[in-house]
Amino acid sequence: MRTQPRDYHHVAIITHPNHAETDALVVEVRQFLIDSGVEDICSFTFEQDDPPQCLWEQELDLVITIGGDGTMLRASHLCGPRGIPLIGINMGRLGFLTELTRDNWQDHLPTLFGPDSPARLEQRMMLHGVHSRGDKVLHEWDVLNDLVVVRGRFVRPITLSVSVNQTPIVGYVADGLIVSSATGSTAYSLAVGGPILLPEMRNMVIIPISPHFSIDRAFVLSDQDEVSIRLETEHEAVISPDGKQSVMIENGDVLTVSASTFTADFVRFSSKRAFYRNIIQYMERNPIALKLYNENAEQD
């Protein structure tokens, strides 16, 4: 595992546009960075069409996200290919990927600039997906959570054939199929009954969505494996990369998934034991469901 760098000269702040307190927090974090001797700071929100030039033209030492897990996820798509460490301040509801909160960031972030920083880098394997039609590559992605092949607007199952390392292993009639990373194992994959993997494991999980008379168990593969998913259905189906803009696929199209050459490097202050504590707490008391329940109770 790489050690966390101690010098920060160029830092970017990435924010979610729809959190009420985000603007005020950006001002606080920016002032903290200035006081800590950071030479260059740029910031933008994900509602902007294009990230600012600082993300492409400078060697950034750190990216700080202010938002929720979705903001962290989208930031990983920018930072992973460039090897930029990420740290998140949670303003959302779940905050499973983020490390800090609105209330405690001032306790932890200053320690990054000390000589004996407790921070560590948690390297998360990303996935590389290739959508092809015949010999033509139509789309490519590097994602953190998962690549999903799923039915479109029509409520009909789709038929998929799956090969691993060019060897056919199984066919599915299902609503769809998820290929997730270890990070993604606690996202959509978990929701359909997949196994929980430790976030630093370099594995992939294949699991169907609502399979009909098909194998309903997950396959756990290594980072040396390659998964090919072929659509065998005439009606509408799509590929969803990390929940981003879906792309339409046609009968005979293939999605190939393998371990990306990039990793998402998360700055962590907590110990690895925190993962177990958090996942159990979230499963016992889902913070999203609890928040909605409390909001509805107040309205009643």
- For the chain, the DSSP string reads -PPPP---SEEEEEE-TT-TTHHHHHHHHHHHHHHTT-SEEEEEETTSSS--THHHHS--SEEEEEE-HHHHHHHHHHHGGGT--EEEEE-SS--SS--EETTTHHHHGGGGGSTT---EEEEEEEEEEEEEETTEEEEEEEESSEEEEEE-SS---EEEEEEETTEEEEEEEESEEEEE-TGGGGTHHHHTTPPP--TT--EEEEEEES-SSS--S-EEEETT-EEEEEE--SS-EEEEETTSS-EEE-TT-EEEEEEEEEEEEEEE-S-THHHHHHHHHHHHS-HHHHHHHHHHHHH-
Stretches in the chain below the pLDDT threshold 70: 1-6, 19-20, 47-58, 284-300
Q: Would you say 290 and 146 are in contact if contact means Cβ atoms under 8 Å apart? A: no
Please tell me the predicted confidence (pLDDT) of residue 2: 45
Task: Please name each of the domains of the chain with its CATH number.
Answer: 10-118 (3.40.50.10330), 126-261 (2.60.200.30)
Q: Which of 61, 69, 142, 242 is catalytic?
A: 69
- For tokens 């929720």, the residue is 68
Please tell me the predicted confidence (pLDDT) of residue 146: 98
Please tell me the predicted confidence (pLDDT) of residue 52: 61
Please tell me the predicted confidence (pLDDT) of residue 118: 84
Annotated catalytic residue 69: yes
Please tell me the predicted confidence (pLDDT) of residue 114: 74
Taking the C-alpha atoms of residue 100 and residue 87, their distance in angstroms, rounded to an integer, is 8
Asked whether the whole model's pTM tops 0.75, one would answer: yes
